[in-house]
Copies of this chain bind each other. A is one copy, B any other.
Amino acid sequence: MRKNKISHNVILRLPRYLRYLEELRSKDVVRISSGELGRLMGITASQIRQDLSCFGEFGQQGYGYNVEMLLGEVAKILGIRRERRAIIIGAGNLGRAIIGKFPFEQYAFRLTAAYDVSHEIVGTEMAGLTIRHADTLAADLQDSPPDIAVLTMSGESARTISTLLADAGVRGIWNFTNQDLPNMGPDVIVENLHFSDSLLTLSYYMTHPKDNELEKP
């Protein structure tokens, strides 16, 4: 039975389910029970069944889940379906790493434009894209804005640019800058990837080893 409101914790686990199911499929595993999957992932079978039940009934009593089918369902839940367009703003080292290495296609995204302001970078080609000058961004957005924008430039311009993007109809922002973005209303989803928050979490757990204790029965 579908729940009305899906909790954030459930949503954060979905990509993990996807990863484990992909791994199982790559190993040609056909079926998996919540018990086995739970052991693999280090979570309870109950939690898996509870999580999945938010979205539908994907298993079969006495059998478990078909890996291929469940993978497809989780992908669908996560929105990996028909192609969406992405642009990236900032083609410095981080931007280049993402342009060159990140498997957008795997998640049904297509990177269609990249921007920078450095005249050494603008005009160069990278993974089939010619880097454009950020000054042309506003005009480029006029026609048909992309679904998401990836912010990999330095932080100062993050707030201005994200407002520009939101106004142009971009509905998702994947924010790698160290800046928090202004609230752009409920129609624009922002996902932050704050490197420093992550390092500080590591730092905390290294400083307080006790808190990391956990045992499995």
Contact = CB atoms under 8 A, between A and B. Distances in A.
Contact of A200 (B14, B194, B200): B14
Copies in the complex: 2
Contacts of A206: 79, 147-148, 171-172, 189
A96 B6 CA distance: 38
A18 interface: yes
Contact of A203 (B12, B80, B201, B213): B80
Nearest to A183: B42
Interface string A171-211: 11010000010000011010101111111111111111101
Interface in A45-98: 77-80, 92-94, 96-98
A186 B200 contact: no
Interface residues of A, number: 57
Given A186-B213, A206-B148, A206-B189, A201 B11 contact: yes
Interface of A: 5-6, 11-12, 14-16, 18-19, 77-80, 92-94, 96-98, 100-103, 106-107, 109, 147-148, 154, 171-172, 174, 180, 186-187, 189, 191, 193-209, 211-213
Instruction: Rank and list the top 7 A-B pairs by shortest CB-CB distance, nearest first.
Output: A79-B207, A93-B97, A191-B202, A94-B97, A15-B197, A79-B203, A15-B200
